[in-house]
Amino acid sequence: MKKCTHFVWLILFVSANGFSMQPSSSRILHCDVLVVGGGTGGTAAGIQSARLGAKTIMVDSTPWLGGMLTAAGVSATDGNNRLPSGIWQEFREAIWKRYRGPRAVSTGWVSKTCFQPRVADSIFKSMAAQEKKLKVIYNYWFLHVLKSGDKVTGAIFTDNKKSVLIIYARVIIDATELGDVFKDAGAGYDVGMEARSYTGEPWALDSGNDIIQDITWVATLKDYGPGTDKTIPRPATYDSSMFFCSCKTKLCPNAEWTPQQMLDYGRLPDHEYMINWPIHGNDMYLNAINMNHEQRDQAYKAAKEKTLCFVYYIQHALGYKNLGLADDEYPTNDKLPFIPYNREGRRVKGIVRFTINDILHPYSKSRTLYRTAISVGDYPIDLHVTENPKAPKRTFPHIPSFGIPLGCLIPARVNGLIVADKGISVSNIVNGATRVTTCVMLTGQAAGVLAWYCSYHHVEPRDVNIRKIQEVLLDKNTYLLPFIDVTPSDPDFKAIQRMGVTGIIRGAGVPYNGANQTWFYPERPISQYELVQGLRDYYPTLDDYDFASGETLTMDALLNIFALTGNKIPLSEVRQDWGRFGFGKPLSGGLQLNRKMVAVLVDYYLHPFDRPIDFSGKLKYVNDKQG
């Protein structure tokens, strides 16, 4: 009866909205994991979910995969250049292979990895095609979720012919650009800049507003050679004064960059240029969040028009007539990308919210979210708001690199749904760092692991064993915490990452020239006091002992501390195991230990990573429910 009632409702919904339910124009599909949106995060999520064995369907509104990196034309990666791991590393290596090495794609000064959008699309499609469990459906956009109580069970899509596609799934991932799925599902969300009283961030506003970041309709220009004239027709709204200070000219001699430097910002291989220039360029304030698909298409025409005006300015006023819209990039009538570059949309109200306080002070007594980390970022806080005169001007502190908590991907009040891409549960300020492509890609990969796990074990995202999700990610050679000096190629990478997210041995964050860092310092000695401080949460019995000594930890001292935790391990037992650790030093009771050695030994003998945690990072009792 319930299924019948639901199907009747479905027929009424699509009929009322003018969509066709004729057999020739409608489909009903079933899968384990449904990914709504084939953007940067969605593509990574779909590929990862399928690789783990979940029957996965990914649906995107464009004919391309990759979203920001491809369909939006932002073909230069941001962030994590020194933190390559997981699908991000796989993608970058594929780019290097296609262009014959990393130097060939270090062409622009905005990024060390620049490429043509169609090349990135072909790489993502090649990766997807290798997964037999993954089905990709193009040119369908999201209409509505299907729900049973508070659980999302599927989604409805349509295309330009108003055909209807209905997909039921055990788990749904919202990887849309603006958070359309979780909004329709009834999850709470935020839009715009929050008040300080809401987030607790000193850099937040006295009162909130609904202002989001500027969008950009990117253009890809191609150098057609000396003497050619590829000037486009003068756009109807062209006003050269809008762009006077985009670069150094007679009309704006104090601008920081020359015209060629401005173009080289997004220089691509094979004589092409990404035009995504924020300084009196083609950024534009436009909030299309609450519009439907058709309304957005109409509104976005203004963003396209501004970009064409900027292209005309580059050609006509700056004299680059040889640079024209690339005719071999996008199969569109106007030679522009399929979608705009949306830097910000809705942000779901998740089980936890990640704020700048968590980034700046990850180890403060009240903060343990780092223990739940599932992806990393090292980009600075970068909010594009110059095109909106109502946007308040703010400055933000320099930040270290960071790990994104798993609870940011899970809506607080809706089941069956996971959030990827830019809509995760972060503050507006933190979105300025988490929104960039490589961070979104890694977060999407984590969403794919989470979705597979929930589907396979028949549990809700809010009930998963966080350590199990992290362990799968480590098996895929991804960072949980951004220890820049211990890479996935290190044989002790997993042990050090596990110790990092227990908090027993902590990293040190360093803001650094826009490529922020966190160091583990594996070769540094560690004191008895530092180790005991890290172990106290796991072994409260250590509170009865005074370890104020700053003496460097030796093997004898380590085994003594082990004994105080209730784990008496004789030196003879360690001697039997010593060869497996590969430390390259002879064992003795007086051997001084460094941070890497202690991490490996604590991980091996005490297994603190096996203690379950809740989504705030606090330790759970072993018999607490966590699937």
H or E element, residue 46: helix 40-51
Residue 219: CB atoms within 10 A of its CB come to 29
Give the end of a domain, one of 307, 325, 343: 325
For 165, counting Cβ atoms within 10 Å of its Cβ (0-12 exposed, 13-18 middle, 19+ buried), the class is buried
**pLDDT of residue 477 exceeding 80:** yes
**pLDDT of residue 627 exceeding 50:** no
Residue 24 or residue 28, greater confidence: 28
For 2, list phi and psi in degrees, rounded to 5: -60, -45
Contacts with 220 (C-beta within 8 Å, 6 or more apart), sequence order: 73, 75, 116, 117, 268, 272, 273, 274, 275, 325, 326, 329, 330, 337
84 occurs within a structural domain: no
Question: Region 238-264: what's the mean pLDDT?
Answer: 96
249 occurs within a structural domain: yes
Question: Region 431-451: what's the mean pLDDT?
Answer: 98
Amino acid code (one letter) for 273: Y
* Cα–Cα distance list, 428 to 48, 52, 192, 209, 345 (Å): 28, 33, 6, 11, 10
Give the end of a domain, one of 293, 325, 357: 325
Strand pairing partners for 417?
Answer: 172
Percent of the chain with pLDDT over 90: 91
Q: What confidence category does residue 18 fall into, taking pLDDT thresholds of 50, 70 and 90? A: low
561 occurs within a structural domain: yes
**pLDDT of residue 9 exceeding 60:** no
Number of domains making up the chain: 2
H or E element, residue 351: none
185 occurs within a structural domain: no
Domain that holds residue 548: 528-593
Mean pLDDT of the chain: 94
Residue 263 structure tokens? 């173009």
Residue 563: CB atoms within 10 A of its CB come to 12
24 occurs within a structural domain: no
Half-sphere exposure of residue 567: CA atoms within 13 angstroms, side-chain side: 19
Strand pairing partners for 220?
Answer: 274
pLDDT, residue 364, reads 87
Which residue in this structure is represented by tokens 């929104």? 435
338 occurs within a structural domain: no
Helices (H), 178-330: 180-184, 196-199, 259-264, 293-299, 301-316
pLDDT digits (tens, 9 = 90+) for 253-306: 999 999 999 999 999 999 999 999 999 999 999 999 999 999 999 999 999 999
pLDDT digits (tens, 9 = 90+) for 196-236: 999 999 999 999 999 999 999 999 999 999 999 999 999 99
Question: Region 160-168: what's the mean pLDDT?
Answer: 96
pLDDT, residue 13, reads 57
Question: Region 298-323: what's the mean pLDDT?
Answer: 98
237 occurs within a structural domain: yes
Number of H helices, E strands in the chain: 18, 19
Q: Answer positive or negative: Cα dihedral of 587, 592, 597, 603.
A: positive
Which residue in this structure is represented by tokens 């996008």? 330
Chain centroid to CA 94: how far? 19
pLDDT digits (tens, 9 = 90+) for 578-619: 999 999 999 999 999 999 999 999 999 999 999 999 999 999
Compute the CA torsion angle 155, 158, 162, 166 (nearest 10 deg).
-40
Q: What confidence category does residue 544 fall into, taking pLDDT thresholds of 50, 70 and 90? A: confident
Contacts with 388 (C-beta within 8 Å, 6 or more apart), sequence order: 211, 214, 285
Half-sphere exposure of residue 148: CA atoms within 13 angstroms, side-chain side: 12
**pLDDT of residue 366 exceeding 90:** no
**pLDDT of residue 5 exceeding 70:** no
pLDDT, residue 3, reads 45
Give the end of a domain, one of 325, 344, 364: 325
pLDDT, residue 512, reads 82
Percent of the chain with pLDDT over 70: 94
H or E element, residue 562: helix 555-564
Residue 379 structure tokens? 């980009």
pLDDT, residue 15, reads 53
pLDDT, residue 131, reads 98
pLDDT digits (tens, 9 = 90+) for 377-417: 999 999 999 999 999 999 999 999 999 999 999 999 999 99
**pLDDT of residue 110 exceeding 50:** yes
316 occurs within a structural domain: yes
Q: Which of 67-81, 150-164, 316-330, 501-515 has the lowest mean pLDDT?
A: 501-515
Q: What is the largest CA-CA distance in the chain?
A: 83
**pLDDT of residue 550 exceeding 90:** no
DSSP state of 624: S
